[in-house]
């Protein structure tokens, strides 16, 4: 794998981890405010982030094995 692609992958992964942090903070805020719709939306956002992160992590693990 080229250095540029590896760097791009790292930036993508860091970006998605930041989105995960946001999702956790949104969930915390929703729970503290007792807003069920905000909570549901935040949980859906968290799962969406995880769905996008999974292929990136899988590719990263595969590249380390090669």
Quick: pLDDT tens for 22-66.
999 999 999 999 999 999 999 999 999 999 999 888 887 887 776
Listed residue (44, 42, 41, 52) closest to 13, CA to CA: 52
Task: Decide if 31 contacts 39 (C-beta within 8 A).
Answer: yes
pLDDT cut 70: percent of the chain above it = 91
Q: What is the pLDDT of residues 13-30, one digit of tens each?
A: 899 999 999 999 999 999
Q: What is the pTM of this model?
A: 0.78
Every domain of the chain and the residues it spans? 7-65
pLDDT, averaged across the chain: 89
Q: Which two tokens stand for residue 21?
A: 């942090």
Range 32-38 contact pairs with CB under 8 angstroms and sequence separation of 24 or more = none
**C-beta separation of 50 from 20 below 8 A:** yes
């Amino acid at each position: 794998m080229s250095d540029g692609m590896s760097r791009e992958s790292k930036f993508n992964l860091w970006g998605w981890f930041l989105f995960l942090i946001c999702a956790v903070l949104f969930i915390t805020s929703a729970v503290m405010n007792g807003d069920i719709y905000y909570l549901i939306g935040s949980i859906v956002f968290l799962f969406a982030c995880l769905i996008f992160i999974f292929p990136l992590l899988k590719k990263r693990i595969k590249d380390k094995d090669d």
